[in-house]
Chain A
């Protein structure tokens, strides 16, 4: 039996009728046509489907749309504002933190939550913090740098160098 739910996505309330078995990621991608949220492994391992639900990073492939009733969701489409890119987007852009880009939306949303709780994380804290997000291209080094860059930008500190480092 279909249920009527209201889910706020990037500030816009959507009232829709859904089957209880509809996954949140399918609501976002297929019912509401926001395809920035990706489906990777579909088993809650890879983190490509990560969105923020009431500010907490969650894997939308393992949450039912009905569980998001009354909740506020942020997807990658909600990061940039009229003023420009979100600091985490700028960090990824400046540090070449993506190759194919498939993991990037989930990676950025998890990073946003991480930086909210811990505005100045160590490299180890960042690596633990993104341990639920898999990237098969970059080797993670530039993703770590991008999150450090975004942290500095959000704190108002001097921005770290974006020059590649060869080791």
Chain B
């Protein structure tokens, strides 16, 4: 399979990339890791007339802690998450997720920014970023703006990134003491999209009471979804079986899965329930 013809630019600065985006308008697409876009172009589901390859722009690939945030550059490869000491020691949820994203070769190319900017509810980082209450930095010719993750996903392949803009960074607030996180997705085989996936971040105080909770769901709604009622069912409570079961019950009720080859609606709700329960327990066990 060969993509339809297109023209190609490889700018070396954000400014140059933004100027190209302005010039080509809707005909242009940004190429980051390319492992969602190029397959779609090979199937001719996407036929951009112009590709703007941002891989030659320096300074977009990093994982650093700064000013109360974990900052992840848009071009950071999934493999870099697996290799990062900061991630391994302090943000195990990313280690959980990156291991389940496609396969090693794809993770050498695929980027965190692209995984989010693609706007696909089947991707894994969106739910993780919802659980972590991240914010997304979007850069345009007018400057940068910050969009909370809850306002980022607008619909199928549609996000807050507007024409002429590029997603440049993701910021995750540094979690307070007593926080743990975990992610798991049920997949039929390596490289499959999630049958269902659940991302959890929980903060507990000295007495074992939950003071904060973030719960994001993968591929069981038209957009990546926050399980709000489940979060509320945990906050202020001791995390006993009752509270956890209640949260898992709400997540299964509130999601909107559709039947496909991975299973019917009831099965997916049941998987959301089970995964929510298990990931809350895992996140709590990791809290430090």
Contact = CB atoms under 8 A, between A and B. Distances in A.
Contact of A59 (B8, B99, B105): B105
Contacts, number: 84
Given A21-B4, A58-B109, A131-B103, A45 B191 contact: yes
A156 to B, nearest CB: 25
B39 A43 contact: yes
B261 interface: no
Interface in B19-52: 31, 34-35, 38-39, 41-42, 51
B20 to A, nearest CB: 14
Interface string A95-138: 00000000000000010011000000000000011011100000
Interface stretch (A7-15, A61-69, A73-81, A146-154): A61-69
Contacts of A21: 2-6, 41
Interface residues of A, number: 32
A1 B7 contact: yes
A20 B7 contact: yes
A62 B190 contact: no
B109 A132 contact: no
A64 B42 CA distance: 11
Contact of B106 (A3, A26, A59): A59
Given A20-B7, A131-B190, A132-B190, A67 B105 contact: no
Contact of A57 (B5, B31, B51, B104): B104
Interface in A38-86: 42-45, 47, 50, 56-59, 62-64, 66-67, 69
A34 interface: no
Given A47-B105, A131-B103, A132-B190, A64 B8 contact: yes
B38 A64 contact: yes
A20 B105 contact: no
Contact of B105 (A1, A23, A50, A128): A50
A42 B41 CA distance: 12
A19 B3 CA distance: 11
A45 B189 CA distance: 11
A132 B190 CA distance: 7
A95 B284 CA distance: 45
Instruction: Assign chain B's interface to a size class.
Output: 20 to 34
Nearest to A20: B8
Contact of A23 (B2, B35, B51, B190): B2
Interface in A1-36: 1, 3, 19-23, 26
Q: Which of A21, A110, A113 has the largest number of chain B CB atoms within 10 A?
A: A21
A21 to B, nearest CB: 4
B55 interface: yes
B114 to A, nearest CB: 13
Interface in B91-116: 99, 102-106, 108-109
A132 B102 contact: yes
A39 B191 CA distance: 18
Contact of A44 (B53, B99, B104, B106): B106
Q: Lowest 10 CB-CB distances: which A-B pairs, in order? A: A132-B103, A20-B8, A131-B190, A56-B108, A21-B3, A132-B105, A59-B105, A57-B105, A62-B38, A131-B103
19 contacts: A1-B7, A3-B8, A19-B5, A21-B3, A42-B1, A44-B39, A45-B191, A57-B104, A57-B108, A58-B109, A59-B109, A63-B38, A66-B10, A66-B53, A69-B10, A132-B102, A132-B103, A132-B106, A132-B191
Interface of B: 1-8, 10, 31, 34-35, 38-39, 41-42, 51, 53, 55, 79, 99, 102-106, 108-109, 190-191
